[in-house]
Structure 1
Amino acid sequence: MNTDLFTYYKERAQEYERVYQKPERQEELRQATAILQDIFSGRHVFEVACGTGYWTERIAATANFILATDINEAVLEVAKTKTYPKDSVSFRQADLFDLASLAAKYESLFGGFIWSHIRLQDLPHFIGILNNRVVPGGTVVLMDNHYVEGSSLPISQQDVNGNTYQTRTLENGSQHLVLKNFPTEAGIRELLQDKATDINFTNLQHYWILSYKTLPQEV
């Protein structure tokens, strides 16, 4: 069984967006789209782990510009086929944990469905990386899943650090053990202590959306 996330998402690229076709999630997807379009209206956005561009396409409807990045070329190729306003989106292959070559800082950052794939012990480092990609006082927005019985895949394993995993089978028959954590609002707020201000948490049934501002630069 494969345990490498890069391989999993490479093989899943062409079927990834079927997760957004679940009937019980449609109204919340519309709500989430409206929330994100409002937050990023007229803004320049740095997007991490853009995947197949599902959210890139929706945010681009109101954002001024998006630099959408992902480590996986297979999903970027899918993302590039979407419809975007002219010159509003640029794509770059980049490792979330190695963004040294991207010197510019943005006023806003978006990361969709990436928090749940970060090991619990790596979350403080992950937050630091995100905050470093935006200007002081800039806006960071993250969206991810709640665990919902009957809609979410069951948890099949848990490691000594509390990380949880799902066993997923792709159309080609390959099986993958995928890291998928489901954080609580309280846990996220605790991690953001002394790292953020203006924390806002929107709880839907299947999804959560977190927004906050990075700490202003001391003078």
Structure 2
Amino acid sequence: MNTDLVAYYKERAQEYEQVYQKPERQEELSELTAILQEIFAGKHVFEIACGTGYWTERIARAANFILATDINEAVLDLARAKSYPEERVTFKQADIFSLKDTLVRYESIFGGFIWSHILLQDLPKFIDILNSRVVAGGTVVLMDNNYVEGSSLPVAEQDEAGNTYQIRTLDNGSTHRVLKNFPTEEFLRKVLEGKATDIEYIRKEHYWLLRYKAL
């Protein structure tokens, strides 16, 4: 069983967007698209973990510019193949935990569906890195899944630190143990204590969205 997230998403690249085809999620996806387009209208956005560009494509309709990054070249190839307004999107292979151009700060950051794949014990470091990439008072937006019985894969196990894992099988038959945490609003706010102001939390049935200004 593969426990490497990078390897998992490389293998899953071609089937990744199937998750966005679930009928019960369509209304919420439309609502979240509208929210993100309003937040990032006219903005320069640094996107982390852009994956196949599903959200990049939608945000680009409103943003002035997006630098979309992902650690995995396989998903970036799919993202680049999508249609974007001319000269509004640039893609770059990069790992948020090892970016070198530390002097560059952005107006806003978006990270979709990365929070759930970060170990709980690494979240304070993750927030510090995000905050170091935006200008003072810059906007950070994170979005991820809620656990919904019957729509989400079941949690298969939990480790001593409280991290939860799912067992996922891809179309090619490979099986993967995938880190997938489902935070509460209370937990999110606790992690952001002393690191954020103007915290706004939006909860849908299948998804949550968090917006804050970085300290």
Match of 2:142 in 1: 142
Q: Distance in 1 between matches of 2:185 and 2:56?
A: 25
Question: What letter corresponds to residue 117 of structure 2 in structure 1?
Answer: H
Q: Distance in 2 between matches of 1:204 and 1:30?
A: 12
Q: Distance in 2 between matches of 1:12 and 1:107?
A: 31
Match of 1:61 in 2: 61
Question: What letter corresponds to residue 19 of structure 2 in structure 1?
Answer: V
Match of 1:51 in 2: 51
Q: Distance in 1 between matches of 2:139 and 2:41?
A: 12
Give CA-to-partner distance per residue, 1:29-50, whole Å, 9 cap, x none.
0000000000000000000000
SS of residue matched to 1:91: strand
**Mind listing any 5+ residue stretches in structure 2 that lack a counterpart?**
none
The Cα of 1:102 is off from its aligned counterpart by 5.5
Q: Distance in 1 between matches of 2:181 and 2:111?
A: 15
After TM superposition, the structure 1 = structure 2 runs for residues 83-98 of structure 1, keeping only pairs within 5 Å, are 83-98=83-98
The Cα of 1:133 is off from its aligned counterpart by 0.8
Give CA-to-partner distance per residue, 1:83-140, whole Å, 9 cap, x none.
1000000000001100123532111000000000000000000000111110010000
Q: Distance in 2 between matches of 1:101 and 1:4?
A: 26
Question: What letter corresponds to residue 123 of structure 2 in structure 1?
Answer: L
After TM superposition, the structure 1 = structure 2 runs for residues 74-85 of structure 1, keeping only pairs within 5 Å, are 74-85=74-85
1:152 and 2:134 matched: no
Question: What letter corresponds to residue 184 of structure 1 in structure 2?
Answer: T
Q: Could you tell me the TM-score, scaled by structure 2's length?
A: 0.99
Identify, as 1 or 2, the structure richer in helix: 2
Question: How many residue pairs are counted as aligned between the two chains?
Answer: 215
SS of residue matched to 1:166: strand
Q: Could you tell me the TM-score, scaled by structure 1's length?
A: 0.97
SS of residue matched to 1:139: strand
SS of residue matched to 2:96: coil
Match of 2:3 in 1: 3
Identity, in percent, stands at 71
- TM-align CA RMSD: 0.6
Match of 1:113 in 2: 113
